[in-house]
Amino acid sequence: MPHVLRGAFFLLKLEAMSNIITTHFDQALFRKYLKTKYIGQSFIFLEETASTNSYIKSLSERETPHGLICLADNQTAGRGQHNRIWLSEPGKNLTFSLVLKPPQSNKLQLLLQAMGLAVKLSVLHNCDCKCTIKWPNDVLYEEKKIAGILTESTFLGNELERFIMGVGINVNNKEIPLNIKENADSLINITQKVQSRELLLAEICNSIASLYELWLVDSEELVHKINNAYAEIGKWVHLSEEGKQIPVKYKFLGLDFDGYPLFLTDDSFIKKYRQQNIRFWL
């Protein structure tokens, strides 16, 4: 009971003092809204860590059960792609990692896309904010990044040990550093409201839990859902292969059922990328 009361009080406080953003992550409130069997049921809260993915990797496989969420209130050296630093102010954003231990290592790339979709759906549900997912690992609002995902896994020989998705979401940080202001935004700026990090994280857990179940039983249905969430679907896009932009535009056709991106080329071929390092944009 005290937990519930504390949660309610917390919400009231947010409403009343919308300019004051708490730095306290209320785990009881988070749990109240969590409806999953595994995901988020094990929870590690860290006041501060360099990167939640690195923290998880420093623990043994046994210490990190399936569904574990590790949340850091202050992630000091969050990593993005290519070791870019993901900046985050303490107590304002969501920076967390989720550990999954799937029974198979096929189509793992679909899980990364599913996490993007889970963030998109949760942001729509909780904040009424319509985002799109951007292949391979971002969530955008009007072409500005609000979330990024960094995914790592470890295999012991051929056996998948654990699959770790690190997620960073700009929630309540009003100040976006000048150098990324053109490309990034936060939910507080978009919605003009303080957003509850607890409720958003709970919703993301609920959402990724059902998408993970879908991945296990019907990954084709999952692919349809993911494809509908891309801003670029069915559009002609610029594309770079191994860092080199190609001189023509291709039409993005979405992912195939294995999770590989398909394109219609300018001369009407269908091209699938499986290994090449590509990027594409509108």
Partner 1 sequence: MDLKLIKNLISMISDSDVNEVSIEEGDFKIKVKKQSDNQGVREQVYYAPSPSAAPAPAPQPVAEPAAPAEPAKAAAPAADTSGLTIKSPIVGTFYSKPSPESDPFVSVGQTVKKGDVLCIVEAMKIMNEIESEHDGKITKVLVQDAQPVEFDQPLFIIEPA
Give contact residues for partner 1 (rule: CB under 8 A): 81, 83, 105, 108-109, 112, 136-137, 151-161, 241, 259-260, 268-277
Nearer to partner 1, 134 or 144 (CB): 134
Residue 2 vs 269, nearer CB to partner 1: 269
What is the per-residue burial (b if ≥16 Cβ within 10 Å, else e) of 207-229?
bbbebbebbeeebeebbeebbeb
Q: How far is the CB of 53 from partner 1 (least distance, A)?
A: 10
In the complex with partner 1, the residue whose CB is nearer, 31 or 279, is 279
CA distance 149 to 128: 21
- Token pair for 53: 């993915």
In the complex with partner 1, the residue whose CB is nearer, 21 or 149, is 149
Question: Distance (Å, rounded) from C-alpha 28 to C-alpha 2?
Answer: 9
**Min separation Cβ 246 and partner 1, Å:** 11
User: Residue 157 — φ and ψ, nearest 5°?
Assistant: 60, -120
* 15 token code pair: 């409403």
Helices (H) and strands (E) in the chain, counts: 7, 15
- Three-state SS for 101? coil
What number of other Cβ atoms are within 10 A of residue 83's Cβ? 8
CB of residue 276 to partner 1, shortest distance in Å: 6
For residue 27, the minimal CB distance to partner 1 (Å) is 29
Nearest distance in Å: CB 86, partner 1: 15
Nearer to partner 1, 154 or 228 (CB): 154
CB of 267 to partner 1, least distance (A): 8
- Residue whose CB is less far from partner 1, 20 or 269: 269
Q: Provide the H-helix boundaries in the chain.
A: 2-16, 27-33, 52-58, 108-127, 187-191, 197-217, 219-228
